Amino acid sequence: MGVIPGYRRQLEIEGLMGIEDLAGTRPGHGEEVYADRQLVVARTALPAGLRFTGEIDASNAAAVPASLAVSEARDGAVHLDLSSLMFIDISGIRAFISAGENAAAGRRLLLHGLPEQLERVINVVGWDRLPGLSICKCGVEQE
């Protein structure tokens, strides 16, 4: 039996894990509205919205409504760039769906760059019709 104590710290020492380093290093990153050890949420200017980088699970799914609360809509739409989201669990997907359902009238949430894993999970758990959310397949990365 192999017991693994302090597994993540070991990885961090070896430089194999560095989610924290992602903050501010991507070109075009705007002001950060949320950051923890596995997730950074930053504003995007064109189109107006948020970019999620890292991983969302039960420990930080609350970052979704918290970030959306300070996001700005232009022409009634908030664009959410998920192309750098490396993992999202069901509680994270649930957070986006709840945000879509609770969005103020006239405010739409547009999801860009859904990772394949996220799309698979959404389909399998029966959320393929997402109320209040639009999945944008425009293929154009935001800047």
Partner 1 sequence: MSAVPARVDSFRHEALFYAGQDRFVAGTLPFVLDGLEQDEAVLVVESAPRIALLREALGADANQVEFADMAAVGSNPARIVPAWQEFVERHSNQRRLRGIGEPIWAERSPSELAECQRHESLLNVAFAGGPPWWLLCPYDTEGLDGSVVEEAKRSHPFVWEPAGQTTSDRYRGLDASGAPFDWPLEPPPASAVKFGFDGVTLGDVRWFIGHYGNAAGLWPREAGDLVAVINEIATNSVRHGGGHGELSTWTDGHAVICEVRDTGRYDRPLADRRRPGPEAGAPRGLWLANQLCDLVQIRSLPQGTVVRVHKYLPHAA
The residues binding partner 1 (CB under 8 A) are: 1-5, 7-8, 11, 17, 37-38, 55, 57-59, 87, 89-91, 94, 97-98, 101, 116-117, 120-121, 124-127, 129, 131
DSSP-derived 3-state class of residue 25? coil
Nearest CB to partner 1, comparing residues 33 and 121: 121
Indicate the angle between helix axes 116-124 and 90-102, nearest 10 degrees.
80
DSSP-derived 3-state class of residue 6? coil
Nearest CB to partner 1, comparing residues 48 and 62: 62
Residue 54 Cβ vs partner 1, minimum distance, rounded to whole Å: 10
Residue 7 Cβ vs partner 1, minimum distance, rounded to whole Å: 5
